[in-house]
Structure 1
Amino acid sequence: MPDLLLLLPDFALIALGYLICRYTALDRPVWDSAERLVYYLLFPCLLFQAIVRNPIRPAEIVSLGGVGLAVVGTGIVLAYALGRAPGVDPMTHASGAQTAFRFNSYVALALSERLAGAPGVAWQALLMAVCVPVCNVAAVWPLARQGGQGYLKELARNPLILATLSGLACNLAGVRLPELAGTTLSRIGAAALPLGLMAVGAGLRFGALREAPWLAAGLMSIRHLVLPVVGIALVLWLQLPPAQQAVIVAFAAMPTAASAYVLAARMGGNGAYVAGLVTVSTLLAMVGLPAALLALGWLR
């Protein structure tokens, strides 16, 4: 199946969420509650279960995890650097910086299975286990600093960080969940993917980007141009297996995290601006992600 068609089911759910929110009685208040449900319960369960059920091999931590950290680390450094540009509003930057290096785990998990089957999910779970804590710490830090909130307190109660670290600790300790608990978590987590993708569509907005268009252009250039190039260069340089190369490059070219604007709004940031960035990132990825995979295949 062509790479573009691999993405269509996921982006169809995003479009469906947009249409339902705009043209039915299930409007914004319904989706505000749905976003909180996904953010605080469904997605942490999905993240924890995905990490626990796929044993992490030390060699893969070094290769896959190292490449993933190099990709998101590049995004973090460049996104933070944009905050030093003249005329950039500190709160707007603090709210939007996360969109340059965070990634949409809903799409990542769905696509990794289509690209490489069950091993692809395991590799993506490893990337998430290593990179999600780093991304969330980097996302919370500027918002907590600008909002005058307790940084360590925000980290300690962030559901994505707690779920990821718990899953990673259980995985490395060799803990295996009882069948009943595993099945329950799997069913809860299964609801996160379709509902999370539809919630992204329900939150799509463009108008707020007029507040800082050049900052938005810089952040999106990092997310959809620089990071895919870094990912392609690293996997070719390290000569990883082709299936792993595809999963990592797809990871590097992901749209930004669907929960980015929820985090910004919850911490008193510019949620509308971040929602606009999520919108643009989602649309850019529809072209950029297949293009990155095609470029990888051409360069092999």
Structure 2
Amino acid sequence: MSQVLLLLPDFLLIVAGAWICRRTALNRPIWEGVERLVYYLLFPCLLFVAIVRQPLQLGTALNFLGCGLAVIGAGIAMAYLLRRWPGVDALTHASGAQTAFRFNSYVGLALAERLGGVQGVAAIAVLIAVCVPVCNVAAVWPLARQGGQHLGRELARNPLILGTLSGLAVNLLGVPMPDLLTTTLARVGGAALPLGLMAVGAGLQMGALRDAPGLASGFLAIRHLLLPALAIALVTAAGLPPLQQMVIVAFSALPTASSAYVLAARMGGHGAFVAGLVSLSTLLGMLSVPLALGGLALAQASGMG
């Protein structure tokens, strides 16, 4: 139940953004400015600080990271394969594919703390640091290709990728960061999640999911059904320690990243379609996380038996 309630505030923020945009003077043009602020400043700051503040020891967790990357890689492959479905619109697919493999890092950090305290947070921080660049590149690539943009240029100036890679570089190289600077960046980044989720609500058009209901179902099935099932199989086969197994499985069932909408909107994609996917994914995450952890417990029990 605690995992279900953990996602409820995120969904309520989406609802609040939708209500404010439609019922007050804070209408759509204002939220377009909020989207740009979140995308270019707030989310990069939050990613940078989250990675810098967590000690990373990549060499001691290769099996753990291998399982996490395998889950993400499978999600990317399956999402890309949906492009081959008959009648799939290229721009709609390019916009929504990211929702099948990207994940809400902030919900993940909170979940990991509930599951394993400081050790759980440290474990998922390593996953986030390694998987976020992979996910962001995989998210940008189809949008850049579909929009006729130069992939290398789009990757080099993508603020989410820049924030992540700079955080990794500072962390792994041991570059000292003054407390004043990290505290300031943390406070700037702290606004990313609430404003990002409210921007999702402001751009929400659930009717847009009717543009491609089969495609939407495919993306959400990958995110909330196939990846958790794969994660359970991988961690039990690899024989990871129990805490690492729980972290990987919870990670695989997380709702998609709220910044998926902002990325699609800013790169000329089908933002309304992605906003609908983010909202539904947040709701589904309330079920998929506890169900996935329950499935892991059953797998562990049957293995012991």
Q: TM-score, normalised by structure 1?
A: 0.91
Aligned residues: 300
1:5 offset after TM fit, Å?
A: 3.0
1:280 aligns with 2:287: no
Displacement, 1:271?
A: 1.6
Say if 1:7 and 1:111, in contact at 8 Å, map to a contact too.
no
User: 2:161 is paired with a residue of what secondary structure?
Assistant: helix
| 1:70-149 correspondence to structure 2 within 5 Å | 70-149=70-149
Q: What does residue range 95-244 of structure 1 map to in structure 2 within 5 Å?
A: 95-244=95-244
Q: Which whole-Å deviations, capped at 9, do the CAs of 1:81-100 have from their partners, x for residues lacking one?
A: 11112221222211111111
SS in 2 for 1:175: coil
Residue type matched to 1:82 in 2?
L
Report if aligned partners of 1:106, 1:196 keep a CA contact under 8 Å in 2: no
CA distance in 1, matches of 2:60, 2:11: 30
Deviation at 1:61, TM superposition (A): 4.4
Residue 263 of structure 2 aligns to which amino acid in structure 1?
L
Match of 2:295 in 1: 295
Q: Percent identity?
A: 68
Contiguous gaps of at least 5 residues in structure 2: 301-305
Deviation, 1:13, is 3.4
Residue 272 and residue 81 in structure 1: after superposition, are their counterparts in 2 closer, same or farther (change >3 A)? same
- Per-residue CA distance 1:239-271 (angstroms, 9 max, x = gap): 323332222212111111211122222222222
The alignment yields a C-alpha RMSD, in angstroms, of: 2.0
Q: Quote the offset at 1:105 in angstroms.
A: 2.1
| Letter matched to residue 195 of structure 1 | L
State the shift of 1:221 in Å. Answer: 1.0
Question: What letter matches 1:268 in structure 2?
Answer: G
Give the SS at the match of 1:254: coil
- In the other structure, the counterpart of 2:67 is 67
Give the Cα separation in 2 of the matches to 1:247 and 1:23: 40
Q: For residues 95 and 130 of structure 2, what CA distance do their matches in structure 1 show? A: 23
Q: Which residue matches 2:264? A: 264
Give 1:112 shift: 2.5
Structure-2 separation of matches of 1:33 and 1:116: 38
Q: Partner residue of 1:55? A: 55
Give secondary structure in 2 for the equivalent of 1:83. helix
Letter paired with 2:122: A
Q: Is the 8 A contact 2:51 2:168 kept in 1?
A: yes
1:60 Cα shift?
Answer: 4.4
In 2, the alpha carbon distance for the partners of 1:117 and 1:191 equals 24
Conserved 8 A contact 1:34-1:195: yes
Cα distance change of structure 1 residues 74 and 166 upon mapping to structure 2, 3 Å threshold: same
How high is the TM-score relative to the length of structure 2? 0.90
Q: Secondary structure at the match of 2:84?
A: coil
Residues 138-159 of structure 1, C-alpha deviations (whole Å, 9 max, x = no match): 1111111111111111000111
Residues 122 and 197 of structure 1: is their aligned pair in 2 closer, same or farther, counting only changes over 3 Å?
A: farther
- Contact 1:224–1:288, Cα closer than 8 Å, also in 2: yes
147-156 vs 30-39, which moves further = 30-39
The runs of 5 or more residues in structure 1 that have no matched partner are none
AA of the residue aligned to 1:147? G
- In structure 2, relative to structure 1, the CA distance for the partners of 1:29 and 1:242 (3 Å cut) is farther
Rounded Cα–Cα distance in structure 1 between residues aligned with 2:204 and 2:2: 27
